[in-house]
A and B are shown apart, each in its own frame.
Chain A
Amino acid sequence: MPPEATTAEPWAPAVERALAAHKTRPGALLPILHEIQHALGYVPPAAVPVIADALNLSRAEVHGVVTFYHEFREQAPGRHVVKICLAEACQSLGCEELLAHAKARLGVELHGTTADGAITLEPVYCLGNCMLSPSLMADGEIHGRVTPQSFDRLTAELREAR
């Protein structure tokens, strides 16, 4: 693939920056994917050949890594990402009810994004906050002892923050 074909893509600068920063490190692929996702919110499937080429890997290998790890997304998420912990400790204090509330309030299933594009709802299996269950992570910040009421307050704040 000629490089000119990709530079016009809106994601190209972020991908180039990630490759430049990490490609000579041993085991560079995960750091590269993290940086791309940090910049763009997802790893564009069209970037896979570019990454593969830079690391001298096959496209299948890069695609395999992107899709193996739960964290990496292939589509852009909403403006905010809320991850509800569904593991055992949070189960013991009703995370299933919290999840049901969240789905109903946001009108989405897991991995879905609200109609206004504000919030993507995802599952997570343990945030290490098991002594203050139920827990969730909103844009990288952990919240403990979450109730339906505090969930509603939080999502309202996220929407306001845009």
Chain B
Amino acid sequence: MSTRVFIPRDSGALSVGAEKVARAIATEAAVRNLPVTIVRNGSRGLYWLEPLVEVETPAGRVAYGPVSAADVPALFEAGFLTGGRHGLNLGLTEEIPFLKKQERLTCARVGITDPVSVADYEAHGGYRGLRNAIRMEPAAIVEQVTQSGLRGRGGAAFPTGIKWKTVLGATGDQKYVVCNADEGDSGTFSDRMIMEGDPLVLVEGMTIAALAVGAAQGYIYSRSEYPHAIAALTEAIQGAYRAGFLGPDILGSGKRFDLEVRVGAGAYVCGEETALLESLEGKRGVVRYKPPLPAIEGLFGKPTVINNVISLASVPIILDRGAAYYRDYGMGRSRGTLPIQLAGNIRHGGLVEKAFGVTVRELLYDYGGGTLTGRPIRAVQVGGPLGAYLPESQFDTPLDYEAFVAINAMVGHGGIVVFDDTVDMAKQARWAMEFCAIESCGKCTPCRIGSTRGVEVLDKVMAGQDREANVALTRDLCNTMLYGSLCALGGMTPYPVLSALNHFPDDFGLPAAEPAAAAR
């Protein structure tokens, strides 16, 4: 009998040599005349162990990693096809503490299944949510999503059910479901992991959304920087069409839903939903005024559901297990789980899906194991380039939308970028302004001009030129951007800048702040 060996096709695994390892294993197995079936799965999210190779044994899947192509002959010698002992043997994958302590709902199948196999997807509980939804009235589907407490995982945390209800109630000869897969925030990769590791859960979630609001066409807008995600999605969508889960007659219901992937072109601002819609229409990715909301006048002026990858990928389990099952995870008004991404200077970087409520400290130390460089953690940026920098004194904050708002920070898309004590926070503040200047769509003045002036004034602060006055000017400028920008790009760039100023005044050549001043 052929042994199943799992080698990820995830781009993170590929970035450290998974393709060479796959070729070496295939070659070595052929030379030794051993029957091996190689499955190209997603990543389990334990990236410091990639390429992580798993072997299916009667006791369960046994992991080896990080494997290089040069290790392959020795692995065969050690009998790794039957879980043999070897320096790289990590034991049963499911028992690795980093993974065992997680609560994987949205990412339940990532790293386990063959991402592009509809049969494998169904064998692991896939399409049960859609099968339930197809027997329900649209309003009842929307009600389930509302009751689950699911909020937009792209960063804005708007209740998904309310958004869907607006689209359901809107009149239009055509409605759309759009997936925002323009995951541009540094430190985030959970959308990518879903698209590469379990794309069908996204396809299923979008199909359920389409049934719920009466849409017949869907688009997934992904980034050009994600070629492997685009390939896996495209293959998965083709499989879903062949199996009757997409197309003119979904599961014999007579309902149509068509879905295609569209690719961005390297503009960060297209992660903003209205800029994304403009881009999908073939225009410059310039932000629109709201209202009208996309739910009323979205893509091509039609009512449109636009949700992040993780939001949509969380829908199938809600329709499968029920709203209460999902809602029972979490804390306060943050219900369910969040796929958190540990990134940057971290020893154990990767994906941690946990119920809301886990603290930053637990994530950094219990999961992340501290920095990769072995130096103390000085600051972490949560929520991408528009997220606040947190000092050590805030590490006990739980991952919860409201708890983060209370400290002038944001959970965002759940990415955490770690910096050690060599970081210069004034430089990071300047970078936030510089990035905003590079990526501004140019529509509103506070963002377009403010970001460039921000770089200039911070240069003066860093050069020690009239420091007090220029810091005051920086704060004033941040205030204008916060309240005067059209979208989150200009409106939230002040978060990293102000948090760096407030929590790390030394780096700006300022005396340590009074606690009252730091709270501003």
Contact = CB atoms under 8 A, between A and B. Distances in A.
Interface of A: 26-31, 33-34, 55, 61, 64-65, 68-72, 87-93, 124-133, 135, 137, 140-145
Contact of B186 (A31, A68, A90, A142): A90
B120 interface: no
A34 B349 CA distance: 33
- 6 A-B pairs with the lowest CB-CB distances in the bound complex, closest first: A131-B349, A29-B282, A87-B186, A69-B265, A144-B15, A130-B343
A49 B67 CA distance: 52
A34 B222 CA distance: 13
A71 B441 CA distance: 15
A129 to B, nearest CB: 5
Contacts of A91: 344, 428, 431
B186 A88 contact: yes
A65 B184 CA distance: 19
A125 B184 contact: yes
Interface string B346-376: 1001100000000000000000000011000
A145 B15 CA distance: 8
B384 to A, nearest CB: 8
A129 B189 contact: yes
Interface string B296-317: 0000100000000000000000
Contacts of B435: 87, 125
A4 B262 CA distance: 32
A72 B265 contact: yes
11 contacts: A64-B284, A68-B284, A68-B441, A89-B344, A125-B184, A125-B439, A128-B183, A128-B192, A128-B226, A131-B189, A142-B11
Contact of A132 (B16, B262, B441): B16
Given A126-B186, A133-B344, A145-B16, 10 more contacts: A27-B300, A88-B186, A88-B381, A88-B385, A124-B266, A128-B189, A129-B11, A130-B341, A131-B342, A142-B14
B262 A31 contact: yes
The dominant DSSP class at the A interface is loop
Nearest to A123: B438
B279 interface: yes
Interface in B325-355: 341-346, 349-350
B40 to A, nearest CB: 16
Nearest to A55: B282
Nearest to A30: B282
Contact of B346 (A69, A126, A131): A131
A24 B241 CA distance: 22
Contact of B279 (A30, A72, A128, A140): A30
Contact of B265 (A33, A87, A132): A33
A66 to B, nearest CB: 9
B50 to A, nearest CB: 7
B349 A132 contact: yes
Interface string B190-207: 011000000000000000
B89 interface: no
B5 interface: no
Contacts of A133: 343-345
Contacts of A125: 184, 186, 266, 268, 435, 438-439
A35 to B, nearest CB: 10
Contacts of A137: 225
Interface in B408-448: 415, 417-420, 423, 428, 431, 435, 438-439, 441
A65 B270 CA distance: 13
Nearest to B381: A88
B282 A71 contact: no
Contact of A68 (B12, B226, B267, B438): B267
Interface string B1-39: 000000000011011100000000000000000000000
Given A144-B12, A144-B16, A145-B16, A130 B349 contact: yes
Interface string B455-467: 0000000000000
A142 B19 CA distance: 12
A33 B266 CA distance: 13
Interface string B171-187: 00000000000011111
A130 B372 contact: no
Contacts of B423: 92
Interface string B82-107: 00000000000000000000000000
